[in-house]
Amino acid sequence: MSEIEKLTVESVRQVRPDLYEAFLTAGKQAEQKRFAELQKTCGDNLGLLVESFVSGRESEVVMRTRIHELERENRALRSNERFLLEQYEGSPALQKEFHSPGAFIAYTQHEAKQQQREADKAFEWEQRKH
């Protein structure tokens, strides 16, 4: 290979297989490290993890996205808690059944998460069918 020949993946593989393997190994390790960092950043948000990894976003950018997402969820939960508290305070039957507003709120939030999990599973199942 002359000095002016252009290096391609295939030419490096043929001429210097040891160098090709070293590059390949380093690239795989870098991608595995990036994926592990994104897993930590995304937490339980699998959709964000996959989208971020495929699109090549860096962990810092994803962290800002995750923070905004969690802030929105927090605002929604606070709003929902106020609504649930009003329901609890206005219902002697709920007060008798749950004995405290915290127990009622925890129960309803648990039920909502369970329903969301079931909906997510059904959605994933539908996606696999197609």
Residue-level pLDDT at 36? 93
In SS3 terms, the chain reads as CCCCCCCCHHHHHHHCHHHHHHHHHHHHHHHHHHHHHHHHHHCCCHHHHHHHHHHCCCHHHHHHHHHHHHHHHHHHHHHHHHHHHHHHHCCHHHHHHHCCHHHHHHHHHHHHHHHHHHHHHHHHHHHHHC
Residue-level pLDDT at 27? 92
Average pLDDT over residues 45-49: 89
Residue-level pLDDT at 120? 83
Q: Report the percentage of the chain scoring pLDDT > 70.
A: 95
pTM greater than 0.75 (yes/no): no
Tell me the per-residue pLDDT of 53-72, one tens digit each, with 9 for 90 and over. Answer: 999 999 899 999 889 888 98
Average pLDDT over residues 6-11: 81
Average pLDDT over residues 76-94: 88
